[in-house]
Amino acid sequence: TYVVTDACIKCKYMDCVEVCPVDCFYEGDNMLVIHPAECIDCGVCEPECPAEAILPDTEPNQEKWLELNTKFAEEWPNITQSREAPEDADEHKGEEGKYEKYFS
């Protein structure tokens, strides 16, 4: 599966939502997650994200994000249509430590 990592937090560009053929993105206040059981591993979302927040879970150190995606995909609503990114999205692009600072 692919997973959304902390680089999405407060950026939420939503370009990923448009391209997913199986609509497996789920939306929280600050970020999106992928439902690992629904993702078909097509990989088209990865290069679409301006924040480079999407990675295959086969990359090193993705356990934490896989766990987070798995948990919140069950709790958050499905999102199938993208909207505008937050106004301050660019200010948070590439920022370090976003999970610790903003995720609750």
State how far the Cα of 42 lies from the Cα of 94, in Å rounded to an integer: 25
With contacts defined by CB under 6 A, name the span among 3-11, 35-43, 59-67, 69-77 that binds ligand F3S: 3-11
| Cβ closest to ligand SF4, residue 9 vs residue 79 | 79
Beta-bridged to residue 78, according to DSSP, are 26
Hey, which residues between 12 and 71 contact ligand SF4 (CB under 6 A)?
A: 19-20, 22, 24, 34, 39-45
Can you tell me which of 1, 2, 3, 16 binds ligand F3S, judged by CB under 6 A? 16
- DSSP line for 59-89: STT-HHHHHHHHHHHTTSPB--S--PPPTTH
Residue in 50, 45, 64, 49 with CA at minimum distance from that of residue 2: 45
- Check binding of 51 to ligand F3S (CB under 6 A): yes
Contact set with ligand SF4 (CB under 6 A): 2, 19-20, 22, 24, 34, 39-45
